[in-house]
Amino acid sequence: MIHEGPPALDIADLSHAFGPVQALRDVSFTVPRGAFVALLGVNGAGKTTLVSLITRLYDSTSGTIRVAGFDARRQPGEALARLGVVFQSRALDADLTLRQNLRYHAALHGIGRREAAARIDEVLALVRLGDKAGARVSTLSGGQQRRAEIARALLHRPELLLLDEATAGLDLRSRAEVGAVVRDLIATQGVSALWATHMMEEVAPEDRVVVLHRGEVRLSGRASDLGGSLSQGFLALTGEQA
Write out the residues near ligand ATP by the rule CB under 6 A. 18, 21, 23, 41, 43-49, 198
Whether 120 contacts 106, CB under 8 Å: yes
Q: How far is the CB of 164 from ligand ATP (least distance, A)?
A: 7
Q: How far is the CB of 92 from ligand ATP (least distance, A)?
A: 21
Q: Which residues share a beta bridge with 66?
A: 10, 71
Q: How far is the CB of 237 from ligand ATP (least distance, A)?
A: 12
Strands lying side by side in the sheet with 208-213: 83-86, 160-164, 192-197, 36-40, 208-213, 216-222
Whether 2 contacts 27, CB under 8 Å: no
CB-nearer residue toward ligand ATP: 71 or 216: 216
State the DSSP code for 136: B
C-alpha pair distances (Å), 125 with each of 82, 86, 103, 135: 21, 18, 16, 14
CB-nearer residue toward ligand ATP: 111 or 179: 179
Residue 1 neighbours by CB distance under 10 Å:
9
CB-nearer residue toward ligand ATP: 57 or 94: 57
**Which helix or strand (DSSP H or E) is residue 65 part of?**
strand 62-67
What residue type is 217 in one-letter code? V
What residue type is 235 in one-letter code? L
CB-nearer residue toward ligand ATP: 7 or 41: 41
Q: How far is the CB of 52 from ligand ATP (least distance, A)?
A: 7
SS3 81: helix
Q: How far is the CB of 226 from ligand ATP (least distance, A)?
A: 20
> β-strands 62-67, 216-222: how paired?
unpaired
Chain-centroid distance, C-alpha 110:
22
CB-nearer residue toward ligand ATP: 106 or 215: 215
State in Å, rounded, how far the first CA of the chain is from the last one: 42
Q: How far is the CB of 162 from ligand ATP (least distance, A)?
A: 13
Q: How far is the CB of 17 from ligand ATP (least distance, A)?
A: 9
CB-nearer residue toward ligand ATP: 46 or 158: 46
CB-nearer residue toward ligand ATP: 40 or 181: 40
